[in-house]
């Protein structure tokens, strides 16, 4: 996959995760108090990972051809971590 194609795909995946995060934040606001603090902590972890991924995306866009492969691996790991964090937070509402 070419770098620009990957960057566009990553941007799309981040946008999708952001939309899911917004939905989760709304659910957290409506949640019972006992769940709210736990879910809010998970949301904050997710947001920190999202910010790290956004930084990686910026680096990826500026990286030369030699470095982008390494950055791509880091972006994939960060993306999977974000998905896991979001799923854990979402699971709290389904319990």
Query: What tokens does 16 get?
Result: 């999708």
pLDDT tens digit string along 3-50?
A: 888 889 888 988 888 888 888 888 777 777 767 777 778 788 888 888
Q: Please tell me the distance from the alpha carbon of residue 39 to that of residue 89, in angstroms, as a whole number.
A: 6
Domains held by the chain: number:
1
pLDDT tens digit string along 39-61?
A: 778 788 888 888 888 888 888 88
Q: Please tell me the distance from the alpha carbon of residue 12 to that of residue 18, in angstroms, as a whole number.
A: 10
Range of the domain at 33: 3-94
């Amino acid at each position: 996959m070419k770098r620009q194609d990957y960057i566009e795909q990553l941007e799309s995946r981040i946008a999708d995760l952001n939309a899911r995060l917004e939905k989760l934040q709304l659910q957290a606001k409506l949640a019972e108090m006992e769940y709210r603090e736990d879910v809010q902590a998970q949301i904050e972890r997710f947001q920190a990972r999202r910010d790290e991924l956004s930084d990686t995306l910026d680096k990826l866009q500026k990286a030369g051809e030699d470095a982008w492969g390494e950055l791509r691996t880091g972006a994939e790991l960060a993306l999977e971590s974000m998905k896991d964090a979001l799923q854990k937070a979402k699971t709290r509402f389904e319990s």
